[in-house]
């Protein structure tokens, strides 16, 4: 029977989170499940993220492999196979390759273009290699998927534009300042939203952090998390002119930063730009502060609008990304076509080599008196003749563009030279 490449699993679009989370397996258990597939699948990779659980298999016993996995997973979570069936999907052959490319390229993600998925696919593949369940075929397929994903990320807008409020804030900061590590951020208020945004800025490399809060103890806790310095809210406002980025989320009806306070801080900053991020509701910073020269003020709605616009732009970039995947798919299919010829070409080479070495042995027996130097020359001649005879047919066979021609020629070669039928090649 012929080997096939299939994808089997569930994801965020087919399965609600409360079901999905039941199927997510810790690495050790995942390894056991993949290893249990060895009788049914020649090669297997298991991918488990918070949004998908998928098996990538090269198998000639697809139904058995799928049943084995589903039974194991459903038994573990006490789910009826008939109830769970609706969540699972399966892709075969070209559709399966395309699915893998779309997953690695983040086109199939819940947030299209998100960065983590490529790392997660790489990790899944690495685990499979370590477990010995991924061989040369999946190596070729996954390496091509990684390269396609990189092209999608570098040649389209799909991953470039930030889509979460915190990442929009970081990207806007990078549109004002070249290097964040040379700048200081001041966090006003120690709430959750401030913390999230501040953490993104820390990850982006902001050099110094001050956390100012009405309750200094709370400020101290957040400052410890961020590796910054805590102070009272009053002190924070006093030192406003020393900060380059201000994240404000302080409770209260009155604005914490009035335009006058900002204007006076800017006078001390001598024109150096100031980025104000107001994520408080009601707003903490007077809108008029945004009109002061070299002050860039964004409130939560402004950031949300940018995030939404970027999401729209990412959706528009989808067709660009699909075009890139089309090109990569063509290359993958060409590789697969060549791969299907490998057993025939290898068989042919082995046959010719066995004939040559047999004839050489016979020749040696009949001519024991020849000088070693002459023997060496003659053997080199036989090897060279065999290689040259094989070169032309190999090149021509690989060069055939029509798949049915390749299949026919390969079959004729196998018939004519009495080669073994090829072992299952994946399609």
Partner 1 sequence: MAWSGWILVLTAGFYLGATWSAMGYFRNWNLAQDVAAGRFLAMGITAHIVFLGIRWVQTGFIPLTAFSEVLAVLGLCLSIGLALTRMRVRIPVLSSLFLPLIVLFTLASLAAGPTPGPEIQPQFKTTLLAVHILCNLLGYSYFTLGFFTGLAFYIQEGRLKEHKIQAWTFHLPSLETMDGLTVRFTAWGFVFWTFGIALGILNAVKTESKLPAYDPKIISAWCVWGLYALYFALRWGLRMRGKKALALAVAGYLLSLFTFFGVKLLMTTHHTFGLGS
CB of 397 to partner 1, least distance (A): 33
And the tokens for 24? 């997510």
CB of 179 to partner 1, least distance (A): 8
CB of 294 to partner 1, least distance (A): 5
CB 59 within 8 A of CB 424: no
Q: How far apart are CA 323 and CA 178, in angstroms?
A: 33
Closer residue to partner 1 in complex, CB, 313/375: 313
Among 116, 305, 327, 384, contact with partner 1 (rule: CB under 8 A): 305
Instruction: Give the x-and-dash track for 244-283 against partner 1 (CB under 8 A).
Output: --------------------------xxxx----------
Q: Does 174 bind partner 1 (CB under 8 A)?
A: yes
Element (H, E) at 36: helix 27-36
Residues 283-302 that bind partner 1 (CB under 8 A): 290, 293-294, 296, 298, 302
Q: Does 319 bind partner 1 (CB under 8 A)?
A: no
Rg of the chain, C-alpha, whole Å: 32
And the tokens for 304? 């949300």
CB 166 within 8 A of CB 153: no
Q: Which stretch binds partner 1 (CB under 8 A): 68-76, 169-177, 190-198, 418-426?
A: 169-177
CB 59 within 8 A of CB 90: no
Q: How many CB atoms lie within 10 A of CB 21?
A: 12
Q: How far apart are CA 41 and CA 28, in angstroms?
A: 19
Burial of 209 (0-12, 13-18, 19+ CB in 10 A): buried
Burial of 373 (0-12, 13-18, 19+ CB in 10 A): exposed
CB of 177 to partner 1, least distance (A): 5
CB 30 within 8 A of CB 46: yes
Q: Does 230 bind partner 1 (CB under 8 A)?
A: no
Q: Does 155 bind partner 1 (CB under 8 A)?
A: yes
CB of 415 to partner 1, least distance (A): 46
Q: Does 80 bind partner 1 (CB under 8 A)?
A: no
And the tokens for 63? 């139904």
Q: Which stretch binds partner 1 (CB under 8 A): 47-55, 82-90, 128-136, 155-163?
A: 155-163
Among 67, 71, 154, 367, contact with partner 1 (rule: CB under 8 A): 154
Q: How far apart are CA 159 and CA 204, in angstroms?
A: 17
Q: Angle 255-175-257 (CA atoms, 0-180°, nearest 5)?
A: 10
Q: Does 379 bind partner 1 (CB under 8 A)?
A: no
Q: Does 161 bind partner 1 (CB under 8 A)?
A: yes
Among 202, 306, 348, 413, contact with partner 1 (rule: CB under 8 A): 306
Closer residue to partner 1 in complex, CB, 105/343: 105
Number of residues that bind partner 1 (CB under 8 A): 30
Closer residue to partner 1 in complex, CB, 68/151: 151
CB 146 within 8 A of CB 198: no
Element (H, E) at 348: helix 300-366
Residues 6 or more apart in contact with residue 143 via CB below 8 angstroms: none
CB of 234 to partner 1, least distance (A): 28
Among 114, 171, 288, 322, contact with partner 1 (rule: CB under 8 A): 171
- Closest-CA residue to 285 (of 276, 273, 296, 274): 276
CB of 254 to partner 1, least distance (A): 24
Q: Does 160 bind partner 1 (CB under 8 A)?
A: yes
Q: How far apart are CA 8 and CA 87, in angstroms?
A: 11
Residues belonging to the active site: 50
Closer residue to partner 1 in complex, CB, 140/273: 273
In the beta sheet, which residues pair with residue 188? 212, 248
Q: Does 237 bind partner 1 (CB under 8 A)?
A: no
Applying CB under 8 A, which residues contact partner 1?
154-157, 160-162, 171-172, 174-178, 270-273, 290, 293-294, 296, 298, 302, 305-306, 309-310, 313, 320
């Amino acid at each position: 029977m012929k080997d096939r490449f299939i994808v089997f699993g569930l994801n965020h679009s087919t399965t609600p989170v409360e079901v999905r989370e039941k199927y997510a397996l810790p690495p050790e258990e995942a390894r056991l499940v993949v290893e249990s597939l060895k009788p049914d699948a020649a090669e297997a990779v298991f991918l488990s993220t918070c949004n998908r659980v998928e098996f990538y298999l090269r198998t000639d016993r697809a139904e058995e492999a799928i049943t084995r996995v589903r039974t194991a997973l459903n038994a573990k979570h006490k789910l009826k196979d008939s109830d769970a069936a609706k969540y699972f999907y399966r892709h075969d052959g070209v559709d399966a390759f395309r699915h893998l490319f779309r997953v690695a390229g983040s086109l199939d993600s819940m947030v299209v273009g998100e960065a983590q998925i490529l790392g997660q696919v790489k990790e899944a593949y690495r685990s499979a290699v370590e477990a010995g369940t991924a061989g040369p075929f999946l190596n070729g397929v996954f390496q091509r998927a990684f390269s396609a994903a990189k092209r999608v990320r570098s040649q389209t807008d799909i991953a470039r534009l930030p889509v979460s409020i915190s990442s929009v804030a970081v990207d806007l900061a990078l549109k004002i300042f070249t290097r964040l590590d040379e700048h200081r951020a001041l966090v006003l208020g120690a709430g959750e939203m401030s913390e999230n945004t501040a953490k993104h800025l820390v990850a982006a490399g902001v050099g110094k952090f001050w956390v100012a809060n009405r309750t200094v103890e709370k400020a101290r806790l957040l400052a410890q998390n961020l590796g910054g310095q805590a102070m009272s809210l009053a002190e924070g406002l006093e030192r406003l002119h020393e900060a380059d980025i201000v994240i404000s989320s302080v409770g209260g009806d009155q604005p914490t930063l009035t335009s006058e306070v900002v204007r006076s801080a800017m006078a001390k900053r001598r024109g150096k730009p100031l980025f104000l991020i107001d994520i408080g509701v009601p707003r903490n910073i007077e809108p008029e502060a945004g009109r002061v020269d070299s002050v860039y003020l964004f409130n939560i709605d402004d950031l949300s609008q940018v995030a939404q616009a970027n999401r729209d732009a990412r959706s528009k970039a989808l067709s660009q990304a699909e075009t890139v995947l089309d090109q990569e798919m063509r290359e993958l299919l060409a590789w697969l076509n060549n791969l299907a010829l490998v057993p025939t070409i290898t068989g042919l080479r082995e046959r010719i080599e066995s004939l040559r070495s047999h004839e050489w042995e016979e020749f040696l027996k009949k001519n024991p008196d020849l000088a070693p130097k002459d023997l060496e020359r003659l053997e080199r001649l036989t090897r060279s003749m065999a290689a040259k005879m094989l070169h032309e047919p190999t090149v021509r066979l690989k060069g055939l563009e029509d798949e049915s021609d390749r299949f026919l020629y390969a079959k004729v070669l196998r018939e004519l030279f009495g080669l073994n039928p090829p072992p299952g090649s994946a399609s």
